[in-house]
Amino acid sequence: MKKSILIIAIFAISMLFPTEMSAQKFPKIDVSPMDASSFPENWRESNKLVKVVYSRPQLKGRTLDKLAPNDKVWRTGANEAAEITFYKDVTFGDKKVKAGTYTLFTIPTDNEWTFILSNQKNVWGSYFYDKAEDVVRVSGEVSKSKDSIEAFSIVFEGEEENATMYLGWGNTLVSVPVKG
């Protein structure tokens, strides 16, 4: 009898203090989810040259120039500014860059985009961008995509130590070389 009462008491107490975490404590998926792109892109290849971590805003009927205005510093994605890590010393565009992690800002225009590598870290948006923290600025070549790209995307293509980073959104493609 005492054993039964003890079991019932333990059961009742456990019901008062659940140990499982409620699903309501976990946030919904961000509307501009975080993603990463690297070169080489094969996940089995651990000897990476470069990786970019960024958030992927979507057009949702809006125009690119509304979301990434011409002639203004842009965070290169959504939410926190994109971060780019070079695992080796590289030539980014036409500039030598030491291995390390940098914040990646861009300045869009119709004919070319300026890529900015900054020493600023943990930056939300580009609201507090500080030109004094620039490491390098390089030009990216603009071209057009025949298909519209709904979600902002970054991909790499290339061979061995020579890659090209592509940014794509709407009908705009922007490229910059990355060489190890």
- Reading the chain (180 residues) residue by residue, the pLDDT tens digits are 566 665 665 555 555 555 555 557 888 888 999 999 999 998 888 899 999 999 999 999 999 999 999 999 999 999 999 999 999 999 999 999 999 999 999 999 999 999 999 999 999 999 999 999 999 999 999 999 999 999 999 999 999 999 999 999 999 999 999 999
Name the DSSP letter for residue 30.
P
Name every residue whose Cβ is closer than 8 Å to that of residue 135 and which is 6 or more positions away in sequence: 97, 102, 117, 118, 119
Query: pTM of the entire structure?
Result: 0.84
3-class secondary-structure state, position 161: coil
What pLDDT is recorded for position 7?
Answer: 60
Nearby residues of 80 by Cβ (< 8 Å), 6 or more positions away: 55, 122, 123, 124, 125
What's the pLDDT score for residue 70?
96
Residue 29 is classified by DSSP as: P
